[in-house]
Amino acid sequence: MNKASDDLKHEHEVIKLALQILKKMRDRIMEKTEYDAGATASLLEVFSVFADQCHHGKEEKMLFPAMEEAGILKENGPIAVMLAEHVKGREHIAQMRVAIDVDNKSIDTEKFVDAAKNYIELLIPHIEKENNVLFPMGDNVLSDSKQNELLEDFEKYEENVIGHGKHEEFHELLKKLKAEYI
């Protein structure tokens, strides 16, 4: 049976690819070999819309509340830690965004490099904790019907909040950036 965590784990793989691209981008910017303002802005869009709004949105608005309802306490537990890390991640994305000026094709190198490093170092262990600790906890307590309900809600959320075809657009963009950077 398909579980809500399967969908989220699949998205984790996509986010990890985007983080690998960010790392390469950051290296090139740091070594001053290349700064592509358009590509950098597009990748930030993947992080703020796909990783944060869509993926973290599904976790915060649907999976975590379902886990709480099933008896997993939020306060002082792993859910609270995950939520705090989402907030931190948002700050790092905002810092990367203010470091780049797309119109003038300029960049505050130090600020961008620092924020990118912090974001990568936050998100990789965050994903591992969810895959290995939080999701198994949820799968233990969620009924089959709740899993189905979550999967349906995820689909509706993608359509209504992120927009039709947006996911495919991000996949295409990442494919292009992967060929360019990795």
Between CA 78 and CA 86 the distance in angstroms is 12
Region of 54-62, 67-75, 93-101, 110-118 interacting with Fe ion (CB under 5 A): 54-62
Ranges within 61-120 binding Fe ion (CB under 5 A): 82
Angle between helices 109-129 and 78-99 (to 10 degrees): 160
Choices 44-52, 57-65, 66-74, 98-106; region in contact with Fe ion by CB under 5 A: 57-65
User: Cα separation of 134 and 78, whole Å?
Assistant: 7
Residue selected from 4, 130, 154, 173 as contacting Fe ion according to rule CB under 5 A: 130
Nearest approach, Cβ of residue 101 and Fe ion (Å): 30
Q: Using the minimum distance from each CB to Fe ion, give the nearer residue, 8 or 107.
A: 8
Give least dist CB 81 to Fe ion, A. 10
Which range of residues in 59-67, 88-96, 133-141, 174-182 is near Fe ion by CB under 5 A?
59-67
Measured distance CA(126)–CA(15) in Å, rounded: 11
- Asked if 93 and 47 count as a contact pair (C-beta separation under 8 A), the reply is yes
Nearer to Fe ion, 109 or 131 (CB): 131
Residue 7 within binding range of Fe ion, rule CB under 5 A: no
- The letter for the amino acid at 40 is T
Q: How far is the CB of 61 from Fe ion (least distance, A)?
A: 12
Q: Report the distance separating Cα 45 and Cα 111, nearest Å.
A: 18
| Torsion angle defined by CA atoms of residues 99, 100, 105 and 107, in that order, rounded to the nearest 10 degrees | 30
Summarize as ranges the residues that interact with Fe ion (CB under 5 A).
59, 82, 130
